[in-house]
Structure 1
């Protein structure tokens, strides 16, 4: 605009020198200069208007080559949305340039007359100084901008190098002693965050306006706001890092955390997601996972398997070898129970009225634990039903009435040859041993004996 005004004034002086400085020459000169000015700015206005209209039409046409804005397979903006944004941008640019042309035209016309020339020159000088200051500031900032770009480029290359190294560690193409592959992803994220933080600290002085008090005040305010409002988030992030380096579990492991049993589906910086056998996803904050115990069923599942155990209580009247045999038969009939190591039974307690048995078996299918337990319990029921043993926990009253003892008949192994046989007990001693007994379910036996004795007396009399 300033140069256009100078050009029109130079043309005006040239025409005045050629036509003369009289009234007639002055009028003709002004008319010619005004006509040239109008024609020039009109042509410039039409060119700008048609250029941006053509660009908008080309962008909005169906055969335009506008591509959608996407990240991988996710469309952030469709092709139509991108076309509309470009159309609005062209329209704003067109209006700005046309208004600038109109303003430059008016200022140039005012500069052609003596009584308004000083005002036009002042406006043109203000615009020139503003543009010159902006350009000078940009040129002055170029060294700092170049330095900042170099620092950012170096940081980017360092991050790329770290990514390649830790990807190699994760895929076990690079092996570091004492460094496990599952640590690689978390370690990379931590080092990348550290590199970005250091880059921001180094680049900050080279940013325009970084030394202004307003910029520093906003930075302090944002820092205090983040530190006060992200206490829980920071605790979850730190807990996630600790969980990673303690190697409590990995993705796909079958675990039990805070009374939630299932398979690890995802572990993010803030939470751990578990899918239960009911196909329900449960999200646990990493701080809760760290503060509770973690039972990992998968850590030894593929190598040696895990022990499944279940218990039953059977009365003293059933011999324990028989109970063990029935429990082992139930275990061998259950699917996914390993034969090596073989199942075994423990007598865990001798209660007042019954014996507590515990069946232990090994499986490698940790994800099927609920179903294996269900099948095992069903097989125990079937095995005891076929064996004629009732799964009960009987209770007895200590009434000494002479009933038979509930001690099961046990076949003693034959004594060695060098063992001296013990003298047989007399009948009176055997009777004395059999008198003090417990009664309960067998209270009806004396009545049955009386009825049998009465029937024998009737037979003798006949």
Structure 2
């Protein structure tokens, strides 16, 4: 026996007996004047002495008055005393002795294996073979990764469609390709690291000294997989509830989409929902339903009761509340704009200085396509604070009115100006013949009269090119009849009065295109002489 007798004394510094990289037992008390460190040193020497003698040794524990005597092949090796127990952890002598016997048995087995040349050569061969297989698998992962990259490039050449949600582009083709590439990189790295973990565990467990490390890696992986499996099993009832809520919500949303599509197409008519606002109303109802479904499904989500999940939920809610003030303002402006029905997709409008066709109208902004093929995005809050001219809303069967003004001196008969302006409108393509164009005198200024020609457009979206053609025809018509488009300004009274004699009131083409409209004008028209006198 390496130890006889007991000198009870408080442990000063505990020491652990380690053999073949395996902890055997922890010693906390002095014995026969030897500290725990000195006791562990003598234990190692005793075990080495027995192993040097050759043979196999069965490990056993024999109770003695001082505690428990650990034997190898009937030979005493060391004593585990009552003072060596960890009372705070609730250790018992039987429990510690059994664990010590098991640990020492495995350590002695490893010691014998390490001394066996055949065993060590076999371990080296298996490790080399495992390494070759590991390298082949890594090469396969790398080749598969390259093949996947080539496949992605081929798909990119064929064309990848954009990801759109309710008409909003979330991810374009290039970003999709980059995202899939990053996902492929991640999967390749995960596969490579997993195979490295398996190879390292296998290789470490082949050699006696490193086997505890391999056992630790294996037990960690097995415990992790076990936790995952148990978590999946525990989450199955909750996942079933979530799936059930999802399918019920999908059925309800499908019914709602059919209902609002009927309103949008005119098959269903309700006084409180208009066709123009049906799509937005549908989106709002669908959003509320999904939000309600999320609230119902939240308690059944795996990990929803964990502190990490709750902390993440609070963090996301805080970020949304801080950064959504401007978004909420834009969204409310969009809802007001949509439900006021000031404009809709396809209308030809003028918003401030921007004029064009409405491409899309969203909650946050409205997109306008101008005549110059420019796409302009206007925030809805800006539209609410700006005058909006909708040239398409009231066009109906008559068409929307386009108008322009000219200023002509008082020396030109107004009837002639009216006739010239109407003639220019008749010559302009894109203007309706019925209802006919008309002219108004919008101002009698100090030096000239301001005339305004009004005509009906056939297509509101062609307002600007039609207006340009009307301006050109006005110039051509006035030049044709020798009438100057002039806005004179007087610095002094002329030597002769500037006025239009009555015989020139109906200068060409006024006599044909603009006959007297009422009785008073007939009285003003010059009389013609007949054989019997004046008529």
Aligning the two structures, in what range does the TM-score lie when normalised by the shorter sequence? 0.5 to 0.7
Match among 135, 143, 164 for residue 237 of structure 2:
143
* Shift of residue 339, structure 1, vs aligned partner: 0.9
Higher helix share: 1
* Backbone CA RMSD of aligned residues: 4.3
> Residues 107 and 244 of structure 1: is their aligned pair in 2 closer, same or farther, counting only changes over 3 Å?
farther
Structure-2 change in CA distance of 1:238 and 1:44 (3 Å): farther
TM-score (norm 2): 0.59
Cα deviation, residue 284, structure 1: 1.0
Match for residue 198 of structure 2?
97
- Cα 1:46/1:269, change in 2 over 3 Å: same
Structure 1 position 25, deviation (Å): 5.9
Q: CA deviation at 1:323?
A: 2.0
Cα deviation, 1:144-172, whole Å, max 9, x if unaligned, reads 233233323333443444445545554x2
Q: Return the match for 2:425 from 331, 346, 351.
A: 331
Tell me: CA distance 1:101–1:198, structure 2 relative to 1, closer, same or farther (3 Å): farther
After superposing the two structures, state which structure 1 stretch, 372-381 or 282-291, moved more: 372-381
In structure 2, what is the Cα distance between the partners aligned to 1:342 and 1:188? 43
The separation in 2 between residues aligned to 1:395 and 1:121, in whole angstroms, is 106
Match of 1:49 in 2: 134
Q: 1:102 to 1:378 in 2, by over 3 A?
A: same
Q: Note if contact 1:55-1:90 (Cα within 8 Å) is conserved in structure 2.
A: no
1:30-109 matches, cutoff 5 A = 38=123, 45=130, 49=134, 52-53=137-138, 55-56=140-141, 59-60=144-145, 72=161, 74=173, 76-77=176-177, 86-105=187-206
Other-structure match for 2:268: 175
In the other structure, the counterpart of 1:244 is 338
Which runs of no fewer than 5 residues in structure 2 stay unpaired? Answer: 1-52, 58-107, 163-172, 506-520, 525-535
Task: Compute the displacement of 1:105 (Å).
Answer: 4.6
The Cα of 1:386 is off from its aligned counterpart by 2.7
C-alpha deviation, 1:120, in angstroms: 10
Q: 1: CA distance between counterparts of 2:215 and 2:451?
A: 107
Cα contact 1:59–1:66 (8 A) shared by 2: no
Say if 1:83 and 1:378 are closer, same or farther in 2 by CA, change over 3 A.
Answer: closer
Q: Which residue of 2 aligns with 1:433?
A: none
CA deviations on 1:390-424 (whole Å, 9 max, x unpaired) are 333445578698x4562522578569xxxxxxxxx
Higher normalized contact order (CA 8 Å, seq sep 6+, divided by chain length): 1
1:409 pairs, out of 497, 502, 520, with 502
1:214-268 Cα distance to aligned partner (Å, 9 max, x none):
5434322321221121211221122222222222222232111122112222333
How many Å separate the matches in 2 of 1:363 and 1:352? 33
Q: Which residue of 1 aligns with 2:456?
A: 362
Question: Can you list the C-alpha shifts for 1:108-164, whole angstroms capped at 9, x where unaligned?
Answer: 9868xxxxxxx9999988887666555444433332233233323333443444445
Structure 2 counterpart SS, 1:77 = helix
The 5 Å alignment of 1:158-169 reads 158-167=252-261, 169=263
Aligned-pair CA distance for 1:285: 0.7
CA distance in 2, matches of 1:64, 1:308: 58
Aligned residues: 385
> Relative to 1, partners in 2 of residues 1:101 and 1:182: Cα closer, same or farther, differing over 3 Å?
farther
CA contact (8 A) 2:365 2:380 kept: yes
Q: Report the Cα distance in structure 2 between the residues aligned to 1:50 and 1:220, rounded to whole angstroms.
A: 46
Show the counterpart of 1:378: 472
Maintained 8 Å contact 1:66/1:82:
no
Taking structure 1 as reference, are residues 44 and 188 closer, same or farther at Cα in structure 2, changes over 3 Å only?
Answer: farther
Whether the 8 Å contact between 2:203 and 2:214 is mirrored in structure 1 is no
User: Which of 404, 408, 411 is matched with 1:317 structurally?
Assistant: 411
After superposition, the C-alpha distances for 1:46-87 in whole angstroms (9 at most, x for unaligned) are 696378347527625769996769964636238987765544
Residue of 355, 362, 366 corresponding to 1:261: 355
Alpha-carbon separation, structure 2, partners of 1:351 and 1:329 = 24
Cα separation, 2, equivalents of 1:64 and 1:396: 81
Contact 1:52 1:90 in 2 (8 A): no
TM-score, structure 1 as length reference: 0.68
2:437–2:456 CA contact under 8 A, matched in 1? yes
Q: Which moved more, 1:265-274 or 1:55-64?
A: 55-64
The range that moved more, 129-138 or 344-353, is: 129-138
- Aligned residues of 1:56 and 1:86 also touching (Cα < 8 A): no
Q: Residues 7-22 of structure 1: matches in 2 within 5 Å?
A: none
Unaligned runs of 5+ in 1: 1-21, 112-118, 416-462
Residue of 399, 402, 427 corresponding to 1:308: 402
Distance 1:351 1:59, change over 3 A: closer
Quick check: which one's strand share is greater? Answer: 2
Q: Distance in 1 between matches of 2:252 and 2:363?
A: 23
